[in-house]
């Protein structure tokens, strides 16, 4: 079997424990948690532990015209980290050092492989916390969170990852390294190139270091839950809460399908008669009881019942745990294909109602959870991966839901990213000039489409990548 020249070059460059070529082991790096998106076995996986190794890998990629796919903990849900044909994977999980925590200025400097949990625990020693809180916070990495601009349960009040990123070090597709951004709270010197890489899903550069903001630890959250006859009614309650100017630290929605799946999965004693559950949390200290009382009144006005406030932290954690278990619970029913639309708060109930309509018309099991407080919903289709018809119907349902979100003034993805799952939908959201600008930025930094090709990009760029791949296939034949 012929070994690709870049693999031989990587063997000379990297220690043996930093290069994976065994096909059985390569399979572990084939795709992220979006298992139903296309993926391929990479030529090799590199596990660098410093920036200089990534620089050399990118130079070899350019020399041999071999694509590179950046990866972190593989917790992504859109296929953005899936290996493409004949690629090299650069997995940054070993770059996991917290380089510095500046308690006076409330910042931390970390490598991309540090997890949210690791950073939060380290910050706690200084009385600080790192706010971004994706459901996979215990295992997802800061680099991956920045690459997808991850959100989470607390973003209704504290915002998504973007709000906390002040500076980055990045390796560009040609191997050049650059420092972007700052450590100060304010700064408007030149174009904000840092923002360009946040949410770019590894298509413009590989993050090797991040400077992020930390917040003081707040008061313990006070948590409540309200049941509703259906998810649409819960959506109306969320609209009422936000219209009233109330911003809880958490406002999460779980529909009947997910509630039953979670109870079956974890035996939590959840009431099966409820059509939806709305969980709210306030960390406003002495004002928290008043804030939750106002939310409870609005829930009752919208048809909520069994409105309860958690008596202690353990009960509160159980409510939050039910929300975090949504994905593994649905995974126990089949392969979940997760949507990630975001709509204006005023359109939340209408979006939920349409999703239920799609489920009824298609005969698919679609569970809805979401960060309802900021209009971000995750309709999740349970798929039989062995049934091509089921997979096709699921993708069609995802497309319909995303298109409806656009019609309502929303977006095709709120936090999971475009990846492979929604690459065909991106240009429906962008106007032609914006689409052209995205292609031009990509081509300026990566003219050969070597870095995470086929992800995120608008159709023109995808077509270019397909053309290049077609040329390679013809050469092999």
For 84-111, write each residue's pLDDT tens digit: 999 999 999 999 999 999 999 999 999 9
pLDDT (mean) for 361-371: 95
Q: Taking Cα atoms as reference points, which of 234, 255, 258 lies closest to residue 345?
A: 234
CB count in 10 Å sphere of residue 227: 22
Same domain, 84 and 117: no
Is the residue at 84 inside a domain?
yes
Is the residue at 390 inside a domain?
yes
* pLDDT score, position 273: 80
* pLDDT score, position 1: 64
Same domain, 205 and 228: no
* CATH number, position 181: 3.30.465.10
* CATH number, position 295: 3.40.462.40
Same domain, 182 and 255: no
Question: Please, how many CA atoms are within 13 Å of residue 380, restricted to the half-sphere of its CB?
Answer: 29
| Positive or negative torsion for Cα 437, 438, 440, 444 | positive
pLDDT (mean) for 153-174: 96
* pLDDT score, position 317: 83
Which one of 216, 240, 257 terminates a domain? 216
Indicate if the pLDDT at residue 328 is higher than 80: yes
Number of domains in the chain: 4
Angle 466-470-474 from CA coordinates, rounded to 5°: 175
Which one of 163, 183, 216 terminates a domain? 216
| Positive or negative torsion for Cα 366, 81, 41, 112 | negative
Same domain, 325 and 465: no
Residue-number span of the structural domain to which 457 is assigned:
430-476
pLDDT (mean) for 71-75: 97
* pLDDT score, position 269: 80
Is the residue at 253 inside a domain?
yes
pLDDT in tens, 108-153: 999 999 999 999 999 999 999 999 999 899 999 999 999 999 998 9
Same domain, 117 and 210: yes
Query: 């559950």: which residue's tokens?
Result: 277
Same domain, 109 and 208: yes
The total number of residues shown for the chain amounts to 477
Average model confidence (pLDDT) for the chain?
93
Where does the pLDDT of residue 217 fall: very low under 50, low under 70, confident under 90, or very high at 90 and above?
very high
- CB-based contacts of 407: which residues, under 8 Å, 6+ apart? none
* pLDDT score, position 313: 77
- Contact status, residue 405 vs residue 364, Cβ threshold 8 Å: no
Is the residue at 394 inside a domain?
yes
Q: How far apart are the C-alpha atoms of 183 and 171, rounded to whole Å?
A: 19
Q: How far apart are the C-alpha atoms of 286 and 335, rounded to whole Å?
A: 44
pLDDT (mean) for 164-174: 98
Model-level pTM? 0.92
pLDDT (mean) for 449-472: 64
Same domain, 321 and 466: no
Is the residue at 276 inside a domain?
yes
Comparing 368 with 267, the larger pLDDT belongs to: 368
* pLDDT score, position 464: 42
pLDDT (mean) for 445-462: 80
Is the residue at 205 inside a domain?
yes
pLDDT (mean) for 163-183: 97
Is the residue at 34 inside a domain?
yes
pLDDT in tens, 283-300: 999 999 999 999 999 999
* pLDDT score, position 470: 52
What's the distance, CA 92 to chain centroid?
17
Is the residue at 412 inside a domain?
no
* pLDDT score, position 118: 98
Q: How far apart are the C-alpha atoms of 393 and 108, rounded to whole Å?
A: 45
Query: 């159709």: which residue's tokens?
Result: 459
Same domain, 227 and 202: no
Indicate if the pLDDT at residue 29 is higher than 90: yes
φ, ψ (nearest 5 deg) of residue 58:
-65, -35
Which one of 159, 192, 216 terminates a domain? 216
**What b-and-e string marks burial along 280-292, b requiring 16 or more CB atoms within 10 Å of the CB?**
bbbbbeeebeebb
Q: Which two tokens stand for residue 126?
A: 């200084």
Indicate if the pLDDT at residue 476 is higher than 60: no
Indicate if the pLDDT at residue 156 is higher than 50: yes
Which range (95-99, 111-115, 209-213, 321-325) has the least confidence? 321-325
Same domain, 230 and 210: no
pLDDT in tens, 39-58: 999 999 999 999 999 999 99
Q: How far apart are the C-alpha atoms of 318 and 281, rounded to whole Å?
A: 13
Same domain, 102 and 87: no
pLDDT (mean) for 425-447: 93
Indicate if the pLDDT at residue 281 is higher than 80: yes
* pLDDT score, position 460: 54
Comparing 255 with 464, the larger pLDDT belongs to: 255
Indicate if the pLDDT at residue 256 is higher than 80: yes
* pLDDT score, position 477: 43
* CATH number, position 34: 3.30.43.10
Q: Widest CA span of the chain, in angstroms?
A: 71
* pLDDT score, position 109: 98
Same domain, 200 and 311: no
Q: How far apart are the C-alpha atoms of 238 and 281, rounded to whole Å?
A: 13
Same domain, 238 and 266: yes
* pLDDT score, position 459: 42
């Amino acid at each position: 079997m012929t070994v690709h020249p870049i693999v031989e070059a990587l063997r000379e460059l990297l220690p043996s424990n930093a290069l994976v070529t065994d096909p059985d082991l390569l399979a572990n790096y084939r795709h992220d948690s979006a298992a139903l998106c296309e993926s391929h076995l990479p030529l090799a996986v590199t596990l660098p532990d410093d920036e200089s190794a990534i620089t050399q890998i990118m130079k070899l990629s350019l020399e041999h015209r071999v694509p590179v796919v950046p990866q972190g903990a593989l917790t992504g849900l859109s296929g953005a980290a899936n290996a493409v044909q004949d690629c090299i994977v650069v997995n940054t999980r070993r770059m996991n050092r917290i380089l510095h925590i500046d308690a006076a200025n409330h910042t931390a400097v970390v490598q991309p492989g540090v997890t949210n949990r690791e950073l939060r625990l380290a910050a706690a020693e200084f009385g600080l916390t790192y706010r971004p809180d994706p459901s996979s916070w215990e295992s997802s990495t800061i680099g991956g969170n920045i690459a997808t601009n991850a959100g989470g349960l607390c973003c209704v009040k504290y915002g998504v990852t973007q709000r906390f990123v002040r500076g980055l070090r990045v390796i560009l597709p040609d191997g050049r390294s650059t420092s972007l951004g700052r450590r100060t709270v304010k700064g408007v010197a030149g174009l904000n190139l840092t923002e360009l890489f946040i949410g770019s899903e590894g298509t413009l550069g590989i993050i090797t270091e991040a400077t992020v903001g930390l917040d003081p630890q707040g008061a313990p959250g006070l948590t409540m839950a309200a049941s509703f006859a259906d998810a649409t009614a819960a959506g109306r309650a969320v609209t009422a809460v936000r219209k009233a100017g109330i911003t809880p630290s958490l406002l999460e929605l779980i529909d009947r399908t997910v509630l039953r799946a979670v109870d079956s999965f974890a035996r939590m004693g959840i009431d099966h008669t409820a059509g939806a559950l709305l969980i709210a949390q306030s960390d406003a200290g002495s004002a928290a009881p008043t804030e939750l009382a106002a939310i409870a009144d609005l829930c009752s006005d919208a048809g909520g019942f069994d409105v309860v406030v958690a008596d202690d932290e353990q009960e509160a954690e159980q409510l939050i745990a039910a929300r975090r278990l949504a994905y593994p619970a649905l995974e126990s029913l089949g392969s979940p294909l997760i949507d990630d639309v975001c709509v204006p708060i005023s359109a939340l109930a209408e979006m939920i109602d349409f999703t239920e309509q799609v489920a009824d018309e298609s005969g698919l099991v679609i569970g809805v959870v979401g960060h309802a407080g900021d209009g971000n919903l995750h309709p999740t289709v349970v798929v039989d991966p062995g049934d091509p018809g089921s997979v096709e119907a699921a993708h069609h349902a995802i497309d319909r839901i995303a298109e409806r979100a656009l019609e309502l003034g929303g977006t095709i993805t709120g936090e999971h990213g475009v990846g492979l799952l929604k690459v065909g939908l991106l240009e429906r959201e962008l106007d032609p000039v914006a689409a052209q600008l995205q292609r031009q930025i990509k081509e300026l930094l990566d003219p050969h489409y070597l870095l995470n090709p086929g992800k995120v990009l608008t159709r023109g760029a995808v077509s270019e990548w397909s053309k290049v791949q077609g040329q390679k296939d013809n050469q092999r034949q």
